[in-house]
Amino acid sequence: MAKQAAEILLNEKKSETIADLVRRMLVLLGEDPEREGLHKTPERFEKALKFLTSGYHMNADQILNGATFSVCYDEMVVVKDIEFFSLCEHHLLPFFGKCHVAYLPSKKVIGLSKVARLVNMFARRLQIQERLTSQIAQAIQDKISPEGVGVIIEARHLCMQMRGVEKQHGQAVTSAMLGAFRNSKQTRDEFLSLVRTRRG
């Protein structure tokens, strides 16, 4: 239903661009979109927003692009400190931080850079941190059927730091644990220990 409504709206205003809407928004805020500093802002904003939401035009198959490999390896694979930036769907303000991903291979592994690309794909959408965490874990589970997947995200939200409670040092931590990471305390503890280990 929501998809149909969006399509109707798009068809009604197909000639209107994001830049046009931003220009109108600037007027509603009491600004002059034609003044020197703002003259090209609507177009710049449109370009930036399309980049920041480019994850809608990607899927996991495109990202992995055959980079799954059959191996005899049954120890934990961890890719940690993956930096990401996303937009909160409630206020369209950024949230950003680090994502830590681990999985226990069954028969296949993923190219390490592809894990980071998966994180970026889901982050470049309008998101909430909880859903982002789950989507990353589920995508890895679906694509290589490991014994288990663990994902932890630590993020700062500008909707909390710039407005509302205005707590500049608040950080949200979410996790998604599937398979062995949910069922085995030893596996979970090993992952948490590796994530807490910092260089230096």
DSSP H or E segment with residue 157: strand 148-157
Q: For 2-39, what is each residue's pLDDT tens digit?
A: 666 667 666 666 679 999 999 999 999 999 999 999 99
Q: pLDDT exceeding 70 applies to what percent of the chain?
A: 90
For residue 136, the SS3 value is helix
Token pair 């692009």 in the structure block, residue: 65
Cα distance between residue 10 and residue 13, in whole Å: 5
Cα distance between residue 23 and residue 19, in whole Å: 6
pLDDT, position 80: 96
Higher pLDDT, 4 or 197: 197
For residue 69, the SS3 value is strand
pLDDT, position 199: 52
Band of the pLDDT at 200, cuts 50, 70, 90? very low
pLDDT, position 73: 84
Residues 6+ apart with CB under 8 A from 137: 101, 149, 150, 151, 176, 177, 178
Contact 150, 99 (CB under 8 A): no
Q: For 67-104, what is each residue's pLDDT tens digit?
A: 888 888 889 999 999 999 999 999 999 999 999 999 99
Other Cβ atoms closer than 10 A to 197: 9
Q: Which of 184, 175, 128, 122 is nearest to 151 (CA)?
A: 175
Band of the pLDDT at 188, cuts 50, 70, 90? very high
Q: Is the pTM of this model over 0.75?
A: yes
Query: DSSP letter at 67?
Result: -
Domains defined along the chain, listed by start: 2-52 (1.10.286), 62-196 (3.30.1130.10)
DSSP H or E segment with residue 77: strand 77-88
Catalytic residues: 88-91, 129, 157, 159
